[in-house]
Structure 1
């Protein structure tokens, strides 16, 4: 299967720091190496992401934002935008939709990358985080139809923009596989930046196994799977 051409600009929407490193970072690194300009929008700063007593949300947010910026440098992303909604409490509100429309109209991507809001379970041992589903739902509702309609959120003062394609990672029904053999090690290195979450654990074997499982379906050594929606 022939891969689509690398987009010139891509916007990624996720809930937390480390979400893309676990999921679609191999594709993002591959695109970045081929000249794609990529912005990452995180709806929260992962400020509830600790099991240590005595830590404040503010301290955790500062650490996790620093880790995400470091990971973004490894991947070659152009910018990271933190919307700073409370971690663990994210909802697909009109306000969140407005914020995402603002970033779409500002960055004007050809492709938007997000998760699948319809997936509640992965296998028999993981319940999809409600923040993941909320971020994905808000992203899709921002892409279509809001971002392209001039009379929706005119107060943003930005011209409308129509995203041409959506790549949905973790999709219930993937229809596209991206070969990430050349960037799998970059993905692993980027995830290692999130030390507050993984500690001394080596994520390499797990990410290799996941990528091998996804690639096996289409005869690739390592891949990431997406549901590709062509809106143009």
Structure 2
């Protein structure tokens, strides 16, 4: 039986709730363009998973050095790296790595894919979570260029990691192919397929994770930015789609199908 089999019951003629993301795995990785990207919702799910004893790591394409208008990129990159590490610790993540691509102009291509493959082979995640790579996101918002590039590269790298003839030079670094990525999940998409229940403590820890980005977020909006009301609103808005109080919704791509092929 596929892990994606619809388990929704009779909803009285309305749409069935989205199925929960399978959690029969132990190692995960979040891949994002900038410090704070993971904290706008995904970190709450990470808090749930680390509380279950799962191992999770973060991979950031940039240090977000172009993200604070009144601060030189060298200073901003150092600050935002520290905030990201603090935010990760709030949800039980100790491994945070940066690829040092240039913030704002991350380029899709073999160099980025190779860097991500290197990390995937080293950490061997079964599940990868990233951000939407579509131009339009949930609510019709237009997605930022780095987000689109990194999300698509994460999806492609998840497959590349298992092919020894793509980036064979990584074998010289002692990194053998890893074909164990089962699911690649994208937050912020307009058409989610699955959800994660973050009601209660996971949401609270997710709020603490975003609050760690205080220097960055205080420059957002005319009246500043408060993590608690925003993340609470977003999670509770998503909750009904999963049939729970608060949720993170994801568009999930299955790389290792569970069960027979569809033509059998």
Structure 1 segments unaligned to the other structure (5+ residues):
none
SS of 1:123's equivalent? helix
Q: Which structure: larger Rg?
A: 2
1:173 to 167, 191, 197: 191
User: RMSD over aligned Cα, in angstroms?
Assistant: 1.4
Counterpart in the other structure of 2:167: 153
Moved over 4 A (4+): none
CA displacement 1:99-149 (0-9 Å, x = unmatched): 00000111011111112212434435x3211110011011111112x1111
2:119 to 91, 95, 103: 103
Pairing of 1:111-150 with structure 2 (within 5 A): 111-123=127-139, 126-144=141-159, 146-150=160-164
Q: 1:23 to 1:119 in 2, by over 3 A?
A: farther
Quick one: distance in 1 between partners of 2:157 and 2:36?
22
Counterpart in the other structure of 2:237: 213
Quick one: distance in 2 between partners of 1:201 and 1:116?
22
What is the TM-score normalised by the length of structure 1? 0.93
Counterpart in the other structure of 1:13: 31
Pairing of 1:82-93 with structure 2 (within 5 A): 82-93=98-109
Shift of 1:201: 3.3
Counterpart in the other structure of 2:40: 22
Kindly tell me the number of residue pairs found equivalent between the two proteins. 228
Counterpart in the other structure of 2:65: 47
Shift of 1:65: 0.2
What is the TM-score normalised by the length of structure 2? 0.82
SS of 2:100's equivalent? strand
Counterpart in the other structure of 1:228: 252
1:193 to 195, 200, 212: 212
Quick one: distance in 1 between partners of 2:138 and 2:234?
13
